[in-house]
A and B are shown apart, each in its own frame.
Chain A
């Protein structure tokens, strides 16, 4: 609808690829900051543009709209959170510790990023063309997670009961589900569920002795 207006004012004054990609990067950075702070509904595209020192129509020009910018931001922020969590768990001495650190990172320090990504996944439901970027991100999460798990296993010499890709593939849905619960419950979030999933992950590697009554 309003796209006609926007195409008439394409940013021609700052021509060249370099300045273009700079604007794009600035928009992404501002978007990450704003969305993490206030969520999708709490931020207008114009505010992001303002913080990035760009014009509102730049959002449309570089991304296609606020929805697309949101998805792109959520995917980047999620991947960054995963990288940080992985870095934090890199020197863990056991798979147990590895799992605990990952949980702590993703459900505490990085939980705003995980929730942002959860919201992006739900948004893509009604707008299927947004799903491609998310699918790509999920794949990257799974592959990176699997690689990290293999490295930890090699270092610690632990044996898994199932293949490492099974562990990482069941790891991410659990993290997303827990992040949702935490988002909804806030301070009332029961760590019981997080503990349960951590235990489940640890269980994938060895029996924890006798079954509980």
Chain B
């Protein structure tokens, strides 16, 4: 009896979270209300408060789920990589392409969590998962490919996620005009950590795509 109610509550919670995720991805934080979320599952606004504590909390949790799913999809896309270069590029392309709305949502959640201890806990859990899952996947990839890197997989993963979040911000602001040169720079930096990647073989500036006028040699 008791277990049934508990299971029911868990189902409601999951349904609310999934409904919220879809709405937030589509309309953004501002446009979505607690009422529209609960309406999606034929429920009442106070259910959101009951299960999550409020709009901010459900937003933070939904966005955490969003970025973790995007990360999984990126890893799947990167399985097809046949070289160090394409591995880094496929990961970045997936997260800044189809995964971008999820990454931006999480970036927004991080700003929302400023100074709010309860939200911070949820963000911390998501970041921890991003780092640990990323690290173990990288370890597996390295073993399978017999690639070696100059620093620890943990370092690479942490640097990777920081860069992805920053790139998503740049993309959020510049939209269509996002300079993929920045994404390419991050990819190049990641590749450079790989021992099998010949850093000296990086093409000179003039050979890389959108050349920028500068005195750098």
Contact = CB atoms under 8 A, between A and B. Distances in A.
Interface of A: 39, 115, 118-122, 124-126, 128, 130-131, 134-135, 138, 142-143, 146-147, 150, 161-170, 172-178, 180-181, 183-186, 188, 192-193, 195-197, 199-201, 203-204, 207-208, 211-212
B172 interface: yes
Contact of B166 (A130, A176, A184, A186): A176
Given A118-B107, A170-B182, A180-B165, A131 B204 contact: no
B180 to A, nearest CB: 11
Contacts of A168: 185
B120 A122 contact: no
A188 to B, nearest CB: 6
B120 A165 contact: no
Given A180-B107, A208-B151, A174 B181 contact: no
| Chain B contact residues, majority secondary structure | helix
Contacts of B20: none
Contacts of B212: 143, 165
A162 B202 CA distance: 7
Given A134-B173, A170-B182, A180-B111, 4 more contacts: A120-B173, A124-B172, A134-B174, A177-B166
Contacts of B162: 173-174, 177-178, 181, 193, 196-197
B42 interface: no
A146 B193 contact: no
22 contacts: A118-B169, A121-B172, A122-B169, A128-B175, A131-B175, A131-B177, A162-B199, A164-B216, A169-B186, A174-B162, A174-B163, A175-B166, A176-B169, A181-B165, A184-B110, A184-B113, A185-B123, A196-B151, A196-B154, A196-B159, A196-B162, A211-B195
A186 B158 contact: no
A203 B151 contact: yes
A192 B155 CA distance: 8
Interface residues on B, range: 35 or more
A173 B182 contact: yes
A32 B114 CA distance: 19
B169 A121 contact: yes
Which of B108, B163, B167, B170 has the most chain A CB within a 10 Å cutoff? B163
A181 B120 CA distance: 10
B76 to A, nearest CB: 23
Interface of B: 28, 30, 104, 107-111, 113-115, 120, 123-124, 127, 148-152, 154-159, 161-167, 169-170, 172-175, 177, 179, 181-182, 184-186, 188-189, 192-193, 195, 199-200, 202, 204-205, 212, 214-216
From B157, B174, B175, B193, residue with most partner A Cβ within 10 Å: B174
Contacts of A174: 159, 162-163, 166, 186
A169 B173 contact: no
Nearest to A208: B150
